[in-house]
């Protein structure tokens, strides 16, 4: 049986590997997480990342939103879902590949 700590490490490493071309020094922030519960990665400025992965984070509703914008949007455009919950802070959901493309564009233009 895999415990949640081990699973968290695996997925943090999965994301860090894919973010490393954009943030060469990125690494798991395991010491700060254990001590004071910091963000999941260090050396990812100007971003702080929190990784969530596993069956508990699968949402048919969210996946439906992403599928909708992919089907209805223009080919080649970045896809994003803008969410404004009642009396809560709005947020954005987007496919990870589009996020990486945006970060890559920012890096090429001096944004990160």
Strands 41-42 and 81-83: unpaired
Q: Which residue has the higher pLDDT, 2 or 98?
A: 98
Task: Please give the structure tokens belonging to residue 11.
Answer: 């997925």
pTM over cut 0.75: yes
Neighbours of 32 (CB within 10 A): 14
Report the alpha-carbon distance of residue 46 to residue 109 in Å, rounded.
Answer: 14
Tell me: pLDDT of 65 over 70.
yes
Taking only the tens place, the pLDDT of each residue in 25-51 is 999 987 655 555 678 999 999 999 999
- 40, with CB counted inside 10 A (0-12, 13-18, 19+), is buried
Mean pLDDT of 16-29: 94
């Amino acid at each position: 049986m895999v415990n949640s700590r081990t699973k968290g490490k695996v997925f943090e490493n999965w994301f860090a590997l894919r973010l490393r071309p954009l943030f060469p020094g990125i690494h798991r922030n395991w010491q700060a997480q254990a001590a004071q519960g910091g963000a999941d990665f260090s050396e990812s400025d100007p971003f702080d990342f929190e990784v969530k992965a596993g069956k508990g984070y699968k949402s048919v509703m969210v996946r439906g939103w992403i599928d909708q914008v992919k089907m209805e949007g223009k080919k080649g455009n970045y896809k994003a879902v803008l969410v404004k919950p009642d009396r809560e802070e709005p947020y954005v959901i987007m496919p990870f590949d589009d996020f990486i493309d945006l970060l890559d564009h920012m890096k090429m233009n001096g944004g990160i």
